[in-house]
Amino acid sequence: MQSVGYLLIECSTGRIACMNNAPSLHNNPSSVNKKLALLAIPTFGQLIAEPTFVLIDTAIVGHVSDFALAGLSLGSTIILTAVGLCVFLAYSTTSQVSRLFGAKRTREGLQAGMNGLWLSLCIGIVLAIVLFLFAEPICYFLGGREETLNQAVIYTQLVVLGVPGMLLVYAANGIFRGLQKVSITLVVAVSGAVINAVLDVLFVIVWGWGIAGSGIATAIAQWTMGLLLLVPAVRWVVQGGASVVPQITGIIEAGGDGFPLFLRSVALRVALVAGVMAAASMGTEVLAGYQVVNAIWNFAANALDSVAIAGQTLVGAELGAREFERARTLTSFTSRAGIVVGIGVGVVLVILGLVAGQLFSPNPEIQALITAGMVATGVLMPLQGWAWALDGILIGAGDFRYLAFGCTAAALSYIAVLIILIFLVAPELPNDIVRMAALWIVLSVVLIGGRGLANFLRSRGDAWMKNAVV
C-alpha cells in the first residue's frame, strides 16, 4: 500500500518494513501539501453537510418571521449539539482505521469500521427518541419563550428524525477517511445539500409549511446521505473479509475507545450552547443575529476541520507504520496549512459579513449584528485554523484522553469568561453591536485559542505518539 513518500512492504518474516522509494517529506513539501489537499477538499464536502442544512434552513426561514428565525436558532443548536457530540464516531474510526491500515492490518481496520456503523445506528435511534420526547423542556431551558418556543419545538421534533441517518454518515466517513477514499463523501454531501435546498423551497415557500417544512426537508436529506454512504461502506467491508454481523464485543470496544472523544465533544458543545444562551440573555434580536453568524461559523469551521482530518488520516497512517519522524513533519505541515486556510476563510467571512446581512433578515438591526459577529470571528479565523489542525493531529495519534482534558479546561475557562461578560461587562457596553462582537471574540480567543494552546504544548513532546502504536 502506498503511503506518503514511501512504500510499505511485507517482509518474509511478516513484519512491516519501510522502503524509501520516494523523496523524503522534508525535501518534498509540495507532495505533502498536495496529499493534504486531496484529502481535505472532499472531506470538507462531507463535513459541511449538517452546517449547510442549517445554513439553508436559516436563509429560508429567516424570511418567514423573526420568531421563526429565533426558534430555528434554538432548534439548530440542539441538533448541532446532538450530532456534534457524536462526531467521535467519525474521528475514532478514522484514527483506528488509518493506523491499522498503516500497520497492514487491513481486515481488522475494516472490522473496526463496521463496528462503528452499528454503534452509530444504535446511538442515533436512542438519541432521536430522547430529543423528540424532551424537545420542549430543552428548548425552554435554552431560553425559548412563547412563539419562539413553539417554533423551536416544531423544528426540533421533526429534524431529529434524521439523526440516525446523519450518524451513519459520520461512521461511514470514518471508514472512507481511514482508507483515504474520500471522493465519495463530496458527491454525497453535494447531493444532500441539493436535496435539502430543493425540499426547503418546496415545503416552506411553495407549500407554506413554515419552519415545519424546513425540519422535514433536513431529515429527508440526512437519511438520503446515510443510505448513499452505507451501501459502498458495507461492500468494502465484505470485500476486505470483515463481518457485517453485529459483534457486541466489538461495538462495546468501539464505544469505549471513543468515550474520551465523546467527553471532549461534550465539553465543546456545552461551551457552544453556553454561547447561545449568552446571546439569548441579550434579547431576541441578538439571538437571531447570533444564529446567522453561528450557522456561517459552523460552515466555515468545517473548512478548518477538513485540514485537521486530512492531517489526522496521514499522521495516523505514519504512526501505524512507526514512522515517527515523518509523523512529526506532517504535524508541522498540517499546522501551517491550518493557518493558511484560516486566513483565506477569515477574509471571506469579513467580506461576506459586510455585504450579506440582508440575505438572512430584512431587519436592519439584525443585519448590523450579523456584520459585527462575522467580522469579529473572521479576523480571528487564522488562530482557529491553527487550533483545529493540532486537534486533528492528536486525534490521528489516538491521544483521546489528553484531548478530553484540554478541551474541558478550555470550555470551563470560556464559560467563566462568558459569565463575566454577561453580568459585568455587557451592561456597560454601548450597544448590541459591540456585545455581539464581544461574544465572538471571547469564543475565538478563549475557547478555540485555549484548545490550540493546550494541543500545541502536547505536540512539542513525544508522549502523544505512544497511544498510536497498534
Nearest in space to 119 (alpha carbons), one of 258, 10, 233: 258
Joined together, the cell numbers standing for residue 32 give 505533502
Residue 449 has pLDDT above 80, yes or no: yes
pLDDT at 46: 66
Helix, strand, or coil here: 377? helix
Residue 89 has pLDDT above 80, yes or no: no
Residue 286 has pLDDT above 80, yes or no: yes
d(CA 155, CA 159): 6
Q: Could you tell me the sign of the dihedral formed by the alpha carbons of 199, 202, 207, 213, in that order?
A: positive
Contact 378, 346 (CB under 8 A): yes
Instruction: Look at strands 7-10 and 16-19 and give their pairing.
Output: antiparallel
Give the DSSP H/E element, type plus range, for residue 16. Answer: strand 16-19
pLDDT at 414: 96
Helix, strand, or coil here: 64? coil
Half-sphere exposure of 189 (CA within 13 A, CB side): 22
d(CA 308, CA 317): 14
Contact 258, 88 (CB under 8 A): yes
Phi, psi values for residue 22, rounded to 5°: -140, 165
Contact 5, 33 (CB under 8 A): no
Q: Looking at residues 340-350, what average pLDDT do you find?
A: 94
Residue 104 has pLDDT above 60, yes or no: yes
d(CA 360, CA 72): 12
Q: How confident is the model at residue 308 (pLDDT cuts 50, 70, 90)?
A: confident
DSSP string, 93-113: HHHHHHHHHHTT-HHHHHHHH
pLDDT at 39: 76
DSSP character at residue 389: H
Tens of pLDDT along 142-189? 888 888 899 999 999 999 999 999 899 888 887 787 777 777 878 888
- Owner of C-alpha cell 478550555: 410
Joined together, the cell numbers standing for residue 379 give 479576523
Rounded to the nearest 10 degrees, the angle between the axes of helix 211-239 and helix 49-61 is 170
pLDDT at 109: 77
d(CA 414, CA 416): 5
Half-sphere exposure of 9 (CA within 13 A, CB side): 8
Of 345-354, 365-374, 454-463, minimum mean pLDDT range: 454-463
Share of the chain above pLDDT 70, in %: 90
Q: How confident is the model at residue 195 (pLDDT cuts 50, 70, 90)?
A: very high
- Owner of C-alpha cell 518494513: 17
End-to-end Cα separation, the chain, in angstroms: 17
Share of the chain above pLDDT 90, in %: 34
Q: Which residues pair with 82 in a beta bridge?
A: none
Joined together, the cell numbers standing for residue 192 give 444532500
Tens of pLDDT along 315-333? 877 887 778 888 888 888 8
C-alpha distances out from residue 114 to 126, 205, 350, 351, 356, Å: 19, 40, 42, 43, 43
Of 12-16, 128-132, 214-218, 393-397, minimum mean pLDDT range: 12-16
Q: How confident is the model at residue 12 (pLDDT cuts 50, 70, 90)?
A: very low
d(CA 264, CA 270): 10
Rounded (to 5) percent helix, strand, coil in the chain: 85, 0, 15
DSSP character at residue 87: T
Residue 9 has pLDDT above 70, yes or no: no
Q: Which residues pair with 358 in a beta bridge?
A: none
pLDDT at 26: 47
Joined together, the cell numbers standing for residue 151 give 417554533
d(CA 14, CA 390): 34
For 375-410, b where at least 16 C-beta lie within 10 A, e where not — what string? bbbbbbbbbbbbbbbbbbbbbbbbbbebbbbbbbeb
Residue 292 has pLDDT above 70, yes or no: yes
Taking all residues of the chain, what is their mean pLDDT, rounded to a whole number? 83
C-alpha distances out from residue 195 to 49, 198, 218, 223, 229, Å: 11, 5, 9, 11, 15
